[in-house]
């Protein structure tokens, strides 16, 4: 049988009906070779990080830049080098150590995962994808990332950076949808190299390309190893025509109030009276709403007498 002729570059149509490995063969080698030369030396990429180090980094890096994660990550692994070490401490200690990384529920989820790993898997992060997915606080992305980056397995790893690279290079649009779609998952599976080591390398390389070159605000096509095949560039870089992409605000929001309340609780190694929390924010209704939200999320425990503390259980 004659092999099908490869198109000169991926098109938007090919993204809807992926054609299997040939779709990605034009992309794999250039991106992986680029990664070999330009990958950042990050601690969770080093062999000594192990699966636990990879998992910790994946929790911390969600919606948080590398520069903010690095110091907290290093302190975290020094204090809790294995899941069992974290599991022994109260969940409030995880919230305290999380510092100002933001979205502190991630700290509780990571603590919950550490407890489950200790109880179900003898303290070792499981290599099986299904077992990873069954851990509390672990979703589709994190399970695939740990299985791929820690254990070299073949899984589509779809974070925001990867989705943007695929949207531009293959689908021909500036930005991916706001939420991951079934079409994106199908495309990601079609783009995976067949052998596991190459697939794991491709997952890390395509993510790094989105983080360093094919960024959301200022793509650097002159530095991109697949610019010649990029469907979006070849189409003249059409402007995004989907729903408006609004940046997240912080000042004056409940998130800011929650952060200030948690900062007081993190600094106090014991119960904090209501009066100390009342000084955090001038608007009482918003302040009360933010505090109630922290309690509902399990990040703060109310005590008798109107005081509060980080959770012990």
pLDDT of residue 23: 65
pLDDT of residue 240: 85
pLDDT of residue 16: 43
pLDDT of residue 70: 97
Under a CB-based contact definition with an 8 Å cutoff, are residues 174 and 232 in contact?
yes
pLDDT of residue 15: 40
Closest CA to 216 of 187, 178, 175: 175
What would the 3-class secondary structure string for 151-218 be?
Answer: HCCCCCCCCHHHHHHHHHHHHCCCCCCCCCCHHHHHHHHHHCCCCHHHHHHHHHHHHHHHHHCCCCCC
- Sheet arrangement for strand 301-303: 272-273, 307-309, 301-303
Q: How many angstroms separate the CA atoms of 74 and 214, rounded?
A: 28
pLDDT of residue 252: 86
Q: How many angstroms separate the CA atoms of 301 and 24, rounded?
A: 50
**Active-site annotation holder among 25, 48, 58, 219:** 58
Closest CA to 164 of 250, 224, 102: 224
pTM for the model: 0.87
CA atoms in the 13 A half-sphere facing the CB of 228: 7
pLDDT of residue 269: 84
Residue 123 DSSP class: T
Q: What is the pLDDT along the chain (313 residues), one digit of tens a residue?
A: 333 333 333 434 344 434 444 467 899 999 999 999 999 999 999 999 999 999 999 999 998 999 999 999 999 999 999 999 999 999 999 999 999 898 999 999 999 999 999 999 999 999 999 999 999 999 999 999 999 999 999 999 999 999 999 999 999 999 999 999 999 999 999 999 999 999 999 999 999 999 999 999 889 999 999 999 999 999 999 998 877 766 667 788 999 999 999 999 999 988 999 999 999 999 999 999 999 999 999 999 999 999 999 999 8
The residue assigned the tokens 């080698």 is 29
Q: How many angstroms separate the CA atoms of 221 and 63, rounded?
A: 24
58 counts as catalytic: yes
**DSSP H or E stretch at residue 226:** none
DSSP H helices, the chain, are 12-16, 21-38, 50-61, 66-79, 83-88, 91-98, 105-121, 129-133, 140-151, 160-166, 182-191, 196-212, 231-234, 254-267, 274-278, 284-296
For residue 303, what are the β-bridge partners? 307
pLDDT of residue 299: 96
Residues 6+ apart with CB under 8 A from 214: 161, 164, 165, 168, 169, 220, 224
Q: In Å, what is the CA distance from 253 to each residue of 26, 100, 105, 277?
A: 45, 16, 17, 17
């Amino acid at each position: 049988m004659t092999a099908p002729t490869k198109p000169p570059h991926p098109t938007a149509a090919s993204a809807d009906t992926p054609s299997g490995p040939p779709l990605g063969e034009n992309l794999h080698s250039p991106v992986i070779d680029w990664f070999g030369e330009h990958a950042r030396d990050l601690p969770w990429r080093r062999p000594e990080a192990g699966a636990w180090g990879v998992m910790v980094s994946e929790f911390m890096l969600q919606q948080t830049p590398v520069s903010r994660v690095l110091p907290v990550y290093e302190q975290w692994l020094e204090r809790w080098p294995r899941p069992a070490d974290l599991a022994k401490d109260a969940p409030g200690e995880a919230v305290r150590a999380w510092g100002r990384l933001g979205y502190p529920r991630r700290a509780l989820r990571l603590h919950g995962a550490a407890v489950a790993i200790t109880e179900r898997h003898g303290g070792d992060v499981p290599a099986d994808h299904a077992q990873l997915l069954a851990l509390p606080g672990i979703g589709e992305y994190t399970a695939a990332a740990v299985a791929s980056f820690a254990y070299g397995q073949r899984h589509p790893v779809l974070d925001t950076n990867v989705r943007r690279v695929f949207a531009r290079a293959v689908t021909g649009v500036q930005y991916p949808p706001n939420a991951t779609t079934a079409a994106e998952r199908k495309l990601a599976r079609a783009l995976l190299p067949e052998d596991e080591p190459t697939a794991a390398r491709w997952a890390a390389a395509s993510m790094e390309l989105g983080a360093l070159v094919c960024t959301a605000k200022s793509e650097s096509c002159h530095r991109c190893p697949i610019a010649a095949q990029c469907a979006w560039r070849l189409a003249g870089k059409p402007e995004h025509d989907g729903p408006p992409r609004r940046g997240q605000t912080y000042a004056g929001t409940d998130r800011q109030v929650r952060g200030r309340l948690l900062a007081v609780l993190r600094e106090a190694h014991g119960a904090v009276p209501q009066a100390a929390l009342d000084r955090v924010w001038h608007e009482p209704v918003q302040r009360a709403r933010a505090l109630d939200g922290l309690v509902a999320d399990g990040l703060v425990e109310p005590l008798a007498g109107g005081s509060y503390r980080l959770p012990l259980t």
